[in-house]
Amino acid sequence: MEKQSIDQLKKISSQVRRDCLRMVHAVQSGHPGAALGLTEYFVALYFNEMTHNNNFKMEGKGEDLFFLSNGHVSALWYSVLARSGYFNVEELATFRKLNSRLQGHPATHEGLPGIRIASGSLGQGLSVAIGVAQAKKIDKDDKLVYVMMGDGEQQEGQVWEACMYAAHHKVDNLIAAIDYNGQQIDGPTAKIMDLKNLRAKWEAFGWEVVEVKKGNDMEAVVAGLDEAKSLTGKGKPVLILLYTEMGFGVDFMVGTHKWHGVAPSDAELENALGQLEETLGDY
């Protein structure tokens, strides 16, 4: 797939946000907050940074592979996969409905192209991504493995088992990222279970850490990913601390955990779509 310009990536992001909101609205369930917050990162990965093949093959040999550990961001992933050509964008209309391949949380069970493992129960994706990265090393495949986690997810113990393992085994073909939006279901992470200094924690475990302070600024996201890539292959796994704002792009949704798992009403959807340009055509 051809690399897109920053301007084009921004346009795709606007359409992806429209997709996410319309999907969640149509079925009146889902998780719009983090999906809007992570849009730039996903769009940058799929339309600029990763070498990947939308003619989906499970093993993904010779490709960069992406894994989503915080599976509730599914609407965003589905939109980006469809817009990348993994399946028809019309199928986005089936999101969370009976007999759909677009399950509430990502799954392989129905055979949706682009998904390699189920996620939703938190804390498992980093371990899986490390396993895939080690399989690539055995096969002398020089492509990278990416994995996204939530910041609330850092409260799961398995994340730290995997964190320790990747550094010990020098899994340096891996770029993990944390969606650092400071929010979780019951409120701000600082109040619910303070994560304290994540950078210091990951560095202490032996990782390279790249901070992207403007995770909703496309130039900053692409620059951060480029920097992270430059740090791979040097004996250490790489982490991106991606500072994002939940609900970014819609003025009444931004910066609050209120929209973690709540769908907009008809009027709210209309208001939100008025703030996001339709650039590629709604499904």
Residues of this chain that bind other proteins (CB under 8 A): 58-61, 107-109, 116-121, 123-136, 138-139, 157-158, 161-162, 164-165, 168-169
In angstroms, how far is CA 151 from the centroid of its own chain? 12
Query: Is 108 in contact with 118 (CB distance < 8 Å)?
Result: yes
Instruction: Decide whether 128 or 276 has the Cβ nearer to other proteins.
Output: 128
Give me the least distance between CB of 128 and other proteins, in Å please. Answer: 4
> Closest separation between CB of residue 132 and other proteins, Å?
4
Other Cβ atoms within 10 Å of 156 Cβ, number: 18
Closest approach of other proteins to the CB of residue 139, in Å: 7
Which CB atom, from 3 or from 168, has the smaller least distance to other proteins?
A: 168
Cβ closer to other proteins: 59 or 219? Answer: 59
Nearest approach in angstroms of CB 258 to other proteins is 28
SS3 183: strand
> How far, in whole angstroms, is CA 69 from its chain's centroid?
8
Nearer to other proteins, 61 or 191 (CB): 61
| CA 194/CA 77 separation, integer angstroms | 28
- Quote the CA–CA distance of 78 and 243 in Å, as a whole number: 22
d(CA 144, CA 137): 10
Q: How is residue 108 written in tokens?
A: 């392989």
C-beta closer to other proteins: residue 38 or 132: 132
Closest distance to other proteins from the beta carbon of 142 (Å): 14
User: Which of 60, 56, 70, 35 lies closest to 178, judged by CA?
Assistant: 70
Coil, helix or strand for 178?
A: strand
Min CB(211)–other proteins separation in Å: 25
Q: What proportions of the chain, in percent to the nearest 5, are helix, strand and coil?
A: 45, 10, 45
What's the CA gap between 127 and 273, in Å, rounded?
37
* Closest CB 9 distance from other proteins, rounded Å: 28
**59 vs 226, which CB is nearer to other proteins?**
59
Indicate the residue among 67 and 87 with the shorter CB distance to other proteins. Answer: 67
Q: Are 182 and 245 in contact (CB under 8 A)?
A: no
